A and B are shown apart, each in its own frame.
Chain A
């Protein structure tokens, strides 16, 4: 037991420092991926709600494809093929020469893509839950579309979307473990290296699990607090019966 504490600790023999850094990397990858997913999800939801048929079709295909392929494959595809895609996009912006894709970027973009497909559904459902009267009133007062989005749609949709987005955030954290296949030193990779080096897999995988559990638990509390605040002044939800 004492040996376990030494190995997990911060001394010269201890992997504690490496694990902590890796944990922060997990948070960083998850945050970038979630932000990506939020942007993509919003665009996708918008396309499905108010877009021309072509865009709506594209958004549908995007959703079907990304929810139909295992996350591991998306990450592999992005890690090996993402460079070409991003180079193409960068060239559109007038940037010349190939662009490097590190494990971090490939992982964040890949998970962002996956999350975006799921978040699109959450946001779409949240949009449909907005009382149509508020939208009509906004239109009648002559609000421009951007203002309407900013002041009427987004705040109300966000309130309903919070539980779903909270779930998505937890999913993103767990999916970030898969980025370890690209070699990025996030939590799972760090505990694997430690497990192999010390030949104590149980201890280190347990430690890894504990790190993820800590992150998801704290996130869950934060989101529940945010939901509580967002629901202030709203009538209590009644479960159908």
Chain B
């Protein structure tokens, strides 16, 4: 374990952190929007519900890596696409990676949202209806906030999952932390030290996010007494 080498490699890998973060933030935001759309679709009609279920089935039943490859290499195979307006966007590995991550995240987030919505006490909804709230107001003031708080632990897990998933962007030439690590290994042949450095960077990132989510959970649940809170340790 050559500490001098590790000290050298660390800053090299940290240079990939901005890309990692931007990939994560964009895919989570896009995924959240898509998930809301899927939830709306599911509630709208029988056909919509079938489509939403099929979407979730496909994206949760196949590995993310294949989804990335399909979008990056698979789509580029078609001349029609290459000559279309979308090409300047799809040509970029960054766009393809964000697209794949976003579509994947949407599937999981929509399921989390579904669980959160189901857990909203029906009594609260009835009370809102009795109070004469319109649907949008009810959604905005009662349903979504409660659903959000219920879904927070699961969504926190999804956020860390996405941050870790950005490492797969390295397979389509993006030089985020893992990409830089792989390039460094193939130059210096010292796999263990380099990958350990990269692992530490992700570990710190994930721990920060987990702490943040716990803090958020605690803040949103201050009215609940600890005895009633059955969240696992």
Contact = CB atoms under 8 A, between A and B. Distances in A.
Interface of A: 64-65, 67-74, 76-77, 80-81, 121, 124-125, 128, 170, 174-175, 177-178, 180, 188, 191-192, 195, 199-202, 205-206, 208-209, 212-213, 216-217, 239-241
Contacts of A71: 164
Interface string B93-123: 0000000000000000000000000110111
B61 A77 contact: no
Nearest to B76: A201
B206 interface: yes
B215 to A, nearest CB: 17
A216 B65 contact: no
B64 interface: yes
Interface of B: 58, 60-67, 69-70, 73-78, 118-119, 121-123, 160, 164-168, 170, 178, 181, 191-192, 195-196, 198-199, 202-203, 206-207, 210, 232
A177 B167 contact: no
Contacts of A73: 167, 178, 181, 195, 198-199, 202
A77 B58 contact: no
A14 B199 CA distance: 40
B118 A239 contact: yes
B73 A201 contact: yes
Nearest to B190: A80
Nearest to A84: B192
Nearest to B170: A72
Nearest to B123: A241
A212 B164 contact: no
A205 B70 CA distance: 6
A69 B164 contact: yes
25 contacts: A68-B207, A69-B202, A69-B206, A70-B178, A71-B164, A72-B168, A73-B181, A73-B199, A76-B191, A81-B191, A81-B192, A81-B195, A177-B65, A177-B66, A195-B73, A200-B77, A201-B69, A202-B73, A205-B74, A208-B66, A209-B58, A209-B70, A212-B62, A213-B62, A240-B121
